[in-house]
Structure 1
Amino acid sequence: MDTRFTLRFIAEKEGQLFREALHEWRISKRALTAIKFEGGLLTVNGVERNVRHPLHIGDCVEVKFPPEEKSEGLTVEYGDLDIVYEDEVILVLNKPAYQSTIPSREHPTKSIANVVCGHFQQQGLMSTAHIVTRLDRDTSGLLCIAKHAHIHHLTGLAQRNGEISRQYEAIVHGHVTQDVQPIIAPIGRKDTSIIEREVREDGQFAHTDVTVLQRFDLQNEPMTHVRLKLHTGRTHQIRVHMAYLGHPLVGDELYGGSRKYINRQALHCVALRMLHPMTGKSLQFTSSLSEDMQRLMNDSLA
């Protein structure tokens, strides 16, 4: 059984060259190179053809992508995944805190990507984990993964066009005074660190919208529960922007928060909206606030 990822199209333009149709179908040059040299296949009406072949209206085109190999550093592992949505091309998960999205030198095993590779293997998928919306190790909530390189390419185009929207909720130190405000401040790597970011003039454009949900006090310390919408996806964007505003995330020691009440940054991805990369259908996913963040706010009522 051929398990290679396959797309099927019907030609709609008389005499159009195959390569022009493939471009209109948003198949990248990189993918075409892989198809040609790494075990893929292009057929028209069941016959193998090259990209210079002229198409006729009604021709049935199949694009078989080559089998994918795991990225270097990824290991197939098996474990539990909190699956919110899954179909043939995308996987949406609810990621717990304290689990890395991808393996690192400090945390080489048990990452989401490793376990997803095991999940794909059990399904007989000749693929690897392609992270669409990455979360920091200590951030919880919704995470989207593409099942194939071509789908990752399409979701990358969607992100650049602003067609993937994420909302987060966080608990920050202090009472944020404005109920609604945008933070538009460029972010770049701090000169003295390979990890830490900061707002700096030569950084990349970054835009976060902040909405206050609740102001409260915990053991006489003011805190605010906020919702945040990302318009860009810079590394540590929410953490950097809230620290820049003077309200670092509770638990975020890297950017000035305190771990007195929670042992991680109090940040959770609560909503994800996107267009399905193949059908164009609008998809909306939500995730309840994590238990440790709920407990932190409940403690303020005790």
Structure 2
Amino acid sequence: MTAKKGEWLEFTVPSEWQGQTIESLLKMTWGAPKKWLHQLRMEKGVKLNGQMVSWQTPLHPNDRLQLWLYKPEQTDIQPNYRELEILWEDEHLLVINKEPGVDVHPTDPQQTDTLANAVTLYLQTEGIFTKARHIHRLDRDTSGAILFAKHALAGAILDRMLEQRQIKRTYVALVHGILKKKSGTIEAPIGRDRHHPTRRRVSQTGMAAVTHYRVLDTYHKEQTSLVELTLDTGRTHQIRVHMSYIGHPLVGDVLYGGSLGQWSRQALHALKLTFPHPFTREPITCIAPCRDGWFPGALWQ
């Protein structure tokens, strides 16, 4: 059980922490980064039952462990209002259903219309003046679930979980053509396209990239297929590059060989986000409704 108290977050110690010290909880159980731990120690950012104590102090059930997690941080991101569709939230993290046509974060300090600007303002209305930390990214024209951390410790733990593939992301896309195989794996390295500033391409000198796909439905009249995709890696434009590479570019993705048709963006949506909670290990699953007409809503309802 946790409770935000100003810039501090108070944990009521559960029975499973019995016998652990403050230091072992921070280092071993949560895997907090050394640099962050050093800063926390220097700033006297830990209390037990309202008192400064040694980090070697053992924890007992119902103790109140207080951590200075919401220390105000400087940021170049200006707070700006945008309506947010929140899928899941607690004192540590925030999952948002991103709409298409919105950048996740600014490319320069003057840009104020991104998701990070809106999250910054939202956190400030909660009395939180930390940086808005996105754990992963979505392209500007890709919609769906995206995860933010509300403080540096949650951000560090979630970053590590992403590296260890504990955060699972499931996408759906509408692609050109009828796929011959109902499921498969695309394993092809991705690198920059030296002839184009933003495009990526399959390249033997690129970084390893693995995409798994499964056909959900086929539309023979339109000559398109609805596919589910999961990633073992997180390369820039990975799904778009890989599907184009096998001859099935995304509908609307003109950068990689798709045609617009009636859609003004690539038909790609981050449908599901599944991960263990960074502190409680509770399994969390978020389903992000797709608001575009290309995606049949019956699949997520």
Q: Distance in 2 between matches of 1:288 and 1:58?
A: 42
Q: Distance in 1 between matches of 2:180 and 2:193?
A: 28
**Kept in 1: contact 2:72–2:128 (CA 8 A):** no
**Kept in 2: contact 1:34–1:66 (CA 8 A):** no
**Kept in 2: contact 1:90–1:145 (CA 8 A):** yes
> What residue identity is the alignment partner of 1:23?
K
- CA spacing shift, 1:67–1:29, aligned 2, 3 Å: same
The question of 1:160 aligning with 2:151 is answered no
**Kept in 1: contact 2:8–2:66 (CA 8 A):** no
| 1:84 aligned to which of 75, 84, 87 | 87
The question of 1:34 aligning with 2:39 is answered yes
- CA spacing shift, 1:70–1:259, aligned 2, 3 Å: farther
Corresponding residue for 2:57?
55
Q: Distance in 1 between matches of 2:224 and 2:109?
A: 32
Corresponding residue for 1:300?
none
List runs of 5+ in structure 1 lacking aligned partners: 296-302
**Kept in 1: contact 2:200–2:236 (CA 8 A):** yes
**Kept in 1: contact 2:70–2:128 (CA 8 A):** no
The question of 1:93 aligning with 2:90 is answered no
Tell me how far 1:2 sits from its aligned partner.
5.4
> What residue identity is the alignment partner of 1:34?
Q
The question of 1:43 aligning with 2:47 is answered yes
**How many residue pairs are counted as aligned between the two chains?**
287
Report the TM-score, using the length of structure 1 for normalisation: 0.85
2:125 aligned counterpart, secondary structure: helix
Q: Distance in 1 between matches of 2:262 and 2:287?
A: 26
| 1:150 aligned to which of 144, 149, 153 | 153
Tell me how far 1:35 sits from its aligned partner.
2.1
> What residue identity is the alignment partner of 1:63?
L
Corresponding residue for 1:224?
225
Report the TM-score, using the length of structure 2 for normalisation: 0.85
List runs of 5+ in structure 2 lacking aligned partners: 297-301
- CA spacing shift, 1:227–1:34, aligned 2, 3 Å: same
Corresponding residue for 2:176?
173
Cα RMSD of the aligned pairs, angstroms, is: 2.6
Tell me how far 1:290 sits from its aligned partner.
3.0
Tell me how far 1:83 sits from its aligned partner.
1.0
Q: Distance in 1 between matches of 2:117 and 2:44?
A: 25
Q: Distance in 2 between matches of 1:134 and 1:167?
A: 13
Task: Tell me whether 23-32 or 3-12 shows the greater mean CA deviation.
Answer: 3-12
**Kept in 1: contact 2:95–2:147 (CA 8 A):** yes
| 1:71 aligned to which of 72, 75, 85 | 75
Q: Distance in 2 between matches of 1:84 and 1:66?
A: 22
Tell me how far 1:106 sits from its aligned partner.
11
Q: Distance in 1 between matches of 2:124 and 2:235?
A: 31
**Kept in 2: contact 1:5–1:148 (CA 8 A):** no
**Kept in 2: contact 1:35–1:66 (CA 8 A):** no
Task: Tell me whether 251-260 or 286-295 shows the greater mean CA deviation.
Answer: 286-295
- CA spacing shift, 1:20–1:285, aligned 2, 3 Å: closer
Tell me how far 1:100 sits from its aligned partner.
1.0
1:48 aligned counterpart, secondary structure: coil
Tell me how far 1:126 sits from its aligned partner.
2.7
Q: Distance in 2 between matches of 1:181 and 1:224?
A: 14
The question of 1:125 aligning with 2:114 is answered no
The question of 1:136 aligning with 2:146 is answered no
Corresponding residue for 1:265?
266
